[in-house]
Chains A and B, each alone.
Chain A
Amino acid sequence: MNVLNEWAFVGIFAVLAPVFPILPIVIASILRPKMPNVLKSQTYECGVETIGDTWVQFRVQYYIYGLVFLVFDVEIVFLLPWALAYHQLDLFAFGAGFLFIFLLADALIYAWRKDVLAWK
């Protein structure tokens, strides 16, 4: 049952951790002056009025990075148990791991050849 104890700690921690930043912000909200006006609460843009909407479509490049990251991240999740049990594994396991990482590297080479990794 020790596992439950460990995760109870994380649970309490997760609830308590936001309190530390919230506390000074709340104290500040009591102490600080509050004098907003129309000009002050405009969006900052080098002194001129903001033109157009900020929430627009963004470049597809960011999406591709996200996609490649996802491929790696998922594969890393599979690699961690392999590394964890490595002490008790034999040569076959290394072969399997090698093959797996090779497939992963293959994806990297594909993306590389497709020229999507370089920032344009």
Chain B
Amino acid sequence: MDCVGLCDVLAQAGWDRGLAQFLSLFVGVILVSGLPLVTVIFLIWVERKVAARIQDRLGPNRVGPFGLLQTFADLIKLLIKEDITPAAADRLLYNAAPILSFASVVLIWAVVPFTPYHIGTDLEIGALYFVAVASLGTLAVMTAGWASNNKYALLGAFRVVALLVSYEIPLVFALIVPVLLAGSMSMMDIVHAQAGMWFVFMAPLAMVLFFVSSQAETGRAPFDLIEAESELVAGFNIEYSGMKFGMFFAAEFLHVFTNGILLAVLFFGGWQGPLANEPLIAFVWLGIKGSLLYFVSLWMRNTLPRLRIDQVMRFNWFFLVPLSIVQLLVIAGLVMILKEIGLVPLNAQGHIDLASASFLSMLPMTLVLFFANVLIALPVVQWLRENGRKLRERDEQRTRRAIAANAAGAVGD
């Protein structure tokens, strides 16, 4: 095993090599996992403030300056709240679900590259690891719904499985695009491959697909039918109270921000930016990009109404999935053609090499891919508009007929 950094220092100081190794890894884990934990406390405040501003309210502003200490007040409240476990619940699974939910989100942070030199662990299969760990969250929600032994909770959980499982397909198809372009599943390599040009310019459709399906994966509006306050009361977490309930919510808040960061890493160049050789500046770049994308997600959440489950399913299977397959094929085909005619930066072995390519050498490739994406997007958007108009007109007609029927009935009486 390698022994560098802290491990090396400890080994030099006369520690046992294995122990030094373990300790240095342990410190790394604490640092990497501590970051999301600190962030989530701040995120809850940000989310509430942003939601308030969008809805023309002030948001929390009583506890501390600008309400910054509101989260701590809530934390204390949650800690001293009575925690009721329903007598009919499956106790073991009931208690395990919130833990699994939060842990699955924190685990994603192991492969997030913070700076050119700092990453939890640069797994060769980082992208696959992220998908695998994130789907543990689905399992947690299902477990919670099942173990609660409550009809609302179980209905919510069934919907979750249908929804989350469906939206994972466009998510992964969109994820294949950066993997294909970078030629690596390691998150660090994917960021390095965007040195010349961010992937969002080469595959804007993949970015949109990833963004939409990751929004669905968090179960946020317009895809929040998992919780559906008005029909299912709260969905899977209806029986939860106290800190366990808090854990589900902390996990959700953190998941949304994590998705923003992942989107930044996969499509917006991660820590890339001017002066990114300096770790601190690189870290700030990642933070800025992730926060902006996070803001868009909050904006969507607070602006759009909830969709019905049949609409959500139709949107996924008849729109997102076919679109994700088509855009992957088009990108793969074009990259191959561009390689044959020599418009792609190659290395000495004649393989595509984006990591050492400059902005100019990637420009022709980017332009071709971008216009191909626009060409796919135009008819799709047109089709969406027509379809939307048709549905709206049908609904309007139905309403008009109902009103007319009502009026006629009133006269008859």
Pick from B85, B100, B349: contact of A41, CB under 8 Å: B85
Q: For chain B, what secondary structure do more than half of its interface residues adopt (helix, strand, loop), or is it mixed?
A: helix
Number of A-B contacts (CB under 8 A): 234
* A103 to B: closest C-beta gap in Å: 11
B313-356 vs A, CB cutoff 8 Å, 1 = contact: the mask equals 11001100110010011001101100010000000010111000
Chain A contacts of B19 at CB under 8 A?
A: none
Chain A interface, >50% SS class = helix
Task: Please count how many residues in chain B sit with their CB below 8 Å of the partner chain's CB atoms.
Answer: 95
Whether B103 lies near A9 (C-beta < 8 A) is no
Contacts of A18 in B (CB 8 A): 99-100, 103
Partner of A13, one of B107, B250, B251: B107
Known contacts: A1-B2, A32-B80. The answer to whether A25 contacts B332 by CB under 8 A is: no
Cα(A79)–Cα(B174), bound, Å: 12
B30 contact set on A, CB distance < 8 A? 16
B309: nearest chain-A partner, CB-CB: A119
Q: Is B278 an interface residue (CB 8 A)?
A: no
**In the complex, A91 Cα to B338 Cα: how many Å?**
11
Docked-complex contact B29 and A98, CB < 8 angstroms: no
- Chain A residues, Cβ within 8 Å of B318: 112, 117-118
Binding site for B on A (CB under 8 A): 1-10, 12-14, 16-18, 20-22, 24-25, 27-29, 31-36, 38, 40-46, 50, 54-55, 58-59, 61-62, 65-66, 69, 72-73, 76, 79-80, 83-89, 91, 94, 97-98, 101, 104-105, 108, 112, 117-120
Q: Can you name 8 extra interface pairs (CB under 8 A) apart from A9-B29, A72-B321?
A: A5-B25, A18-B99, A20-B103, A41-B85, A62-B158, A62-B162, A79-B176, A80-B127
